[in-house]
Amino acid sequence: MFMLDAEPESLQLEPKHTALLIIDMQRDFVEPGGFGETLGNDVSLLRDCIEPCRQVLAAARAHGLLVIHTREGHRPDLSDAHAQKIQRGNPALRIGDPGPMGRILIRGEAGHDIIPELYPVAGEPVIDKPGKGAFYQTDLELILQTRGIDTLLVCGVTTEVCVHTTVREANDRGRRCVVLGDCCASYFPEFHAVALRMVVAQGGIFGWVSTAQHFLTAIND
Ligand code: TIU
């Protein structure tokens, strides 16, 4: 059991009931030539969260916390991709189009893979999700149930899109979510800041926000 300094208040965590959930730290979002860039974003804005995330991942592994990774992406035949998702907007390349890291946001392609700095190791579940939320059309809920997880430490990208959607889904499923703010990032720094405020407002309406350093201090105590 350890105490984690967080907003709106500190909370007690029990390692065997706590999982680190790393959302969509894929080349498609973080590196040039992927999905994020095709949408018109500056992907370099996501890089600052990698190192704190790497430190949290190392500590979580060292202390035996369950680590779960997610990847957003689709089957090669696009049978699990809604037309509105593929056709929306005017991107440089659409989902499924060939790009420099393979077909955009398609499972099995280089761009779909998790970045080397945060690569999963054997035994860490990887959840492939077709949507923004990690619970939608996945077996994440089942895995949390079988492992007895009631609390999620959430990292990843992007803060206001897949991280927020997943936190909202988890909150409605009775899980406590702690977003490690500096382990998340957005293509829109102002959205990142507001998304974190939205989690902790109203007495922590969606959960808690903490930092990599608070987590490292707490778990190493
Ligand atoms: N575009 C954007 O900010 N995010 C996504 O499309 N997916 C995730 O956040 N993973």
Average pLDDT per block of 10 residues along the chain, 221 residues long: 97 98 98 97 98 98 98 98 96 96 98 98 98 98 98 99 99 98 98 98 98 97 84
List % helix, strand, coil for the chain (3-state, nearest 5): 40, 25, 35
What is the whole-number distance in angstroms between the Cα of residue 28 and the centre of ligand 1?
A: 10
The pLDDT value recorded for residue 221 is 84
- C-alpha to C-alpha distances, 198 to 3, 31, 135, 192, 212, nearest whole angstrom: 23, 28, 20, 10, 19
109 close to 102: Cβ distance less than 8 angstroms? yes
Spatial distance between the Cα atoms of 210 and 215, rounded to a whole number of angstroms: 7
Strands 2-4 and 98-99: unpaired
Residue 199 burial (C-beta neighbours within 10 Å; 0-12, 13-18, 19+): buried
List, in sequence order, every beta strand (DSSP E) within 95-175.
Answer: 98-99, 102-103, 126-129, 151-157
List residues with catalytic annotation: 24, 129, 162
Spatial distance between the Cα atoms of 162 and 83, rounded to a whole number of angstroms: 19
The pLDDT value recorded for residue 142 is 98
- The best mutation among 86, 157, 186, 192 to test binding of ligand 1, ranked by most ligand atoms within 8 Å of the C-beta, falls on 157
Whole-prediction pTM value? Answer: 0.98
Q: Which amino acid is at 182?
A: D
Other Cβ atoms within 10 Å of 15 Cβ, number? 15
**Ligand 1 binding residues, C-beta < 6 A:** 24, 29, 39, 72, 132, 157-158, 161-162, 187
- Residue with the nearest Cα to atom 1 of ligand 1? 36
Strands 102-103 and 98-99: antiparallel
User: What's the residue count for the chain?
Assistant: 221
What is the whole-number distance in angstroms between the Cα of residue 42 and the centre of ligand 1?
A: 13
